[in-house]
């Protein structure tokens, strides 16, 4: 009978060990986070040149999980016009993203003909080259350290139906955060 | 708090793990038809969990009997319960990559008219460990099992549980049958409500779980029990939450409280287990082959 108890005890220990140790109940967590920055201007000149700064720490999903972050990867991005004066158009919409120093370029996207209202409720998906994606992902290494960006929007030869024009727009980046459970 | 999903509060209560506080679950960002799919595995898990550990012996005493049991369960989350196929029902948005359910770990996204929408991730669980206690009293080969936790308030949350099972030893009517044989019917209800006065954080959950089983057991040397059973089960969950519509994609249904009904995927389960009686104490363990393969183990005081 004592032998039997030993067998039962051994089986119980193996079962409990399996349950507690062999089966890790947690997977890595992947969050998608959309980073966005708005470009707003009212003016009358023939060129639009806007600059914005943004940091990962501006976004609560990053801040909430920062201590457990293992990786951040760029996924995709898009430009949207939120509101614009009728007939606002120009040449060479140029969207650039720099590292925090404002001089190290991460990507540059140029749209030769820009008609602002074409992108109201119709986002312009920005396709980056593999080199540009690599630039971004390299900059995003060591994700526990906050990363800041300088984003610029430029348009030349601007015209509109009125003398004064208005442009409200935004640039969005989707990233994936890998979080240690 | 508004930006953390209200379900976080539920999971914090249920699982008491810092992980969930860190990650959160933003079910509030999902319209009702997507929240239903996101939460369906939770409804299934409730059905799996509450319908587990309800027997280890088909024999029910003819005279008075009493049991108190503590049951632990380990439900393995299958891969197909970790993702769902999004269908945001928005013009021009199709073929969205599968996204995490409440138990999943990888969120998807889509680009709609007014920008990117990012789906919530899940609890990133491979398995869910849990426990429950239950009492049972028997008379005339019939047993009444009760699970009860009075509806109680913990700060802004209220939680309650009520469950019962009725079991009858049908082998007591069949002379010379070589095994004990019983039928059992089970009902379990779990209630949770969070209300901090801000309607955007309001969450209410009711989980109703039903099961019917036939099980058999054979006792050797008066102390070793082998048992097995086949069970039909179903689960449904009513979930009330505030849909915040963060991207303003759904002007007609956004910024409102919605009540959704989520049926679990529970159908049948097969159970195989063994128990050891040591005086008034019984130790048992079994495996349950169902939507979520579940291992349970129990310690009972049985006399």
Q: What does the alpha-carbon distance between residue A26 and residue B191 come to, in Å, rounded to a whole number?
A: 26
**pLDDT higher than threshold 90 for residue A90:** yes
Of B54, B52, B55, B57, nearest in space to B224 by CA? B57
Contact B124/A170, CB-based, under 8 Å? no
Give the pLDDT confidence of B96-106 residue by residue, as tens digits: 999 999 999 99
Cβ contacts of A36 on chain B, cutoff 8 Å = 115
Contact yes or no for B188/B225 (Cβ under 8 A): no
Q: Is B248 on the interface with A (CB under 8 A)?
A: no
Residue-level length of chain B: 303
Contact B125/A122, CB-based, under 8 Å? no
Task: Grade residue A83 by pLDDT with cuts at 50, 70 and 90.
Answer: very high
Of A38, A67, A46, A69, nearest in space to A176 by CA? A69
**Residue B158, H or E segment:** strand B157-169
Dig out the tokens for A106 from the structure. Answer: 């991460």
| E strand spans, B195-293 | 203-220, 224-243, 256-263, 268-278, 281-289
Contact A23/B276, CB-based, under 8 Å? no
Q: What does the alpha-carbon distance between residue A25 and residue B74 come to, in Å, rounded to a whole number?
A: 9
ipTM value: 0.83
What is the mean pLDDT of the segment spanning B120-143?
Answer: 92
Task: Grade residue B63 by pLDDT with cuts at 50, 70 and 90.
Answer: confident
How confident is the model at residue B13, as a pLDDT? Answer: 44
Of B279, B261, B272, B278, nearest in space to B294 by CA? B272
**pLDDT higher than threshold 70 for residue B5:** no
- A5 versus B70: the higher-pLDDT residue is B70
Residue A9 phi, psi (nearest 5): -60, -45
pTM of the model: 0.86
Dig out the tokens for B99 from the structure. Answer: 């996204």
Q: Is A8 on the interface with B (CB under 8 A)?
A: yes
Cα torsion angle, B86, B92, B94, B99, sign: negative
Contact B127/A64, CB-based, under 8 Å? no
Exposed e or buried b for every residue in B253-290, given b needs 16+ CB within 10 A? ebeeebebebebbbeebebebbbbbeeeebbbbbebeb
**Residue A136, H or E segment:** helix A130-139
Q: Is A68 on the interface with B (CB under 8 A)?
A: yes
Contact B113/A179, CB-based, under 8 Å? no
Q: Is B19 on the interface with A (CB under 8 A)?
A: yes
Name every residue whose Cβ is closer than 8 Å to that of residue B240 and which is 6 or more positions away in sequence.
Answer: B202, B203, B204, B205, B257, B258, B259, B260
Give the pLDDT confidence of A62-82 residue by residue, as tens digits: 998 899 999 999 999 999 999
Mean pLDDT of chain A: 88
CA distance B174 to chain A (A): 33
């Amino acid at each position: 009978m004592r032998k039997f108890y030993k067998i039962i005890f051994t089986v119980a220990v193996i079962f409990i060990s399996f349950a507690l140790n062999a089966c890790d109940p947690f997977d890595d967590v992947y969050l998608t986070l959309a980073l966005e920055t708005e470009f707003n201007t009212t003016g009358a000149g023939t060129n639009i040149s806007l600059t914005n700064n943004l940091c990962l720490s501006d976004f609560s999903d990053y801040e909430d999980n920062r201590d457990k972050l293992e990786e951040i990867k760029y996924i995709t991005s898009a430009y949207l016009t939120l509101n614009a004066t009728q007939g606002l158009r120009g040449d060479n919409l140029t969207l650039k993203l720099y590292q925090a120093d404002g001089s190290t370029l991460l990507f540059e996207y140029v749209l030769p003909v820009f008609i602002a209202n074409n992108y109201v409720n119709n986002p312009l998906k920005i396709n980056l080259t593999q080199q540009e994606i690599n630039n971004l992902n390299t900059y995003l290494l060591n994700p526990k350290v906050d990363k800041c960006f300088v984003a610029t929007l430029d348009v030349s030869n601007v015209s509109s139906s009125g003398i004064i024009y208005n442009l409200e727009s935004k640039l969005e980046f989707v990233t994936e955060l890998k979080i240690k459970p | 708090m508004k930006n953390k999903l209200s379900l976080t509060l539920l999971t914090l209560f249920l699982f008491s793990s810092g992980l969930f506080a860190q990650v959160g679950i933003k079910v509030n960002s999902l319209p009702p038809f997507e929240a239903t799919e996101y939460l369906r595995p939770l409804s299934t898990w409730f059905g799996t969990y509450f319908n587990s550990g309800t027997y280890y012996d088909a024999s029910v005493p003819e005279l008075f009997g009493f049991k108190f049991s503590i049951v632990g369960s380990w439900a393995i989350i299958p891969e197909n319960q970790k993702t769902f196929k999004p269908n945001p029902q928005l013009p021009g948005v199709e073929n969205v990559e599968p996204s995490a359910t409440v138990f999943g770990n990888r969120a998807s996204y889509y680009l709609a008219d007014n920008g990117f929408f990012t789906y919530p991730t899940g609890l990133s669980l491979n398995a869910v460990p849990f426990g429950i206690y239950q009492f049972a009293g028997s008379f005339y080969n019939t047993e009444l099992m009760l699970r009860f936790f009075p509806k109680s308030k913990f700060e802004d949350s209220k939680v309650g549980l009520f469950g019962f099972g009725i079991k009858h030893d049908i082998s007591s009517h069949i002379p010379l049958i070589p095994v004990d044989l019983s039928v059992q019917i089970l009902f379990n209800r779990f209630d949770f409500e969070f209300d901090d006065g801000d309607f955007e954080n309001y969450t209410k959950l009711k989980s109703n779980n039903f099961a019917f089983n036939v099980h058999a057991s054979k006792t050797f040397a008066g102390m070793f029990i082998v048992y097995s059973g086949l069970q039909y089960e179903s689960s449904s969950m009513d979930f009330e939450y505030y849909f915040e519509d963060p991207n303003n994609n759904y002007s007609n249904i956004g910024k409102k409280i919605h009540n959704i009904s989520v049926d679990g995927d529970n159908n049948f389960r097969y159970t195989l287990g063994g128990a050891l009686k040591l005086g008034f104490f019984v130790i048992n363990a079994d495996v349950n082959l169902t939507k979520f393969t579940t291992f349970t183990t129990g310690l009972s005081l049985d006399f």
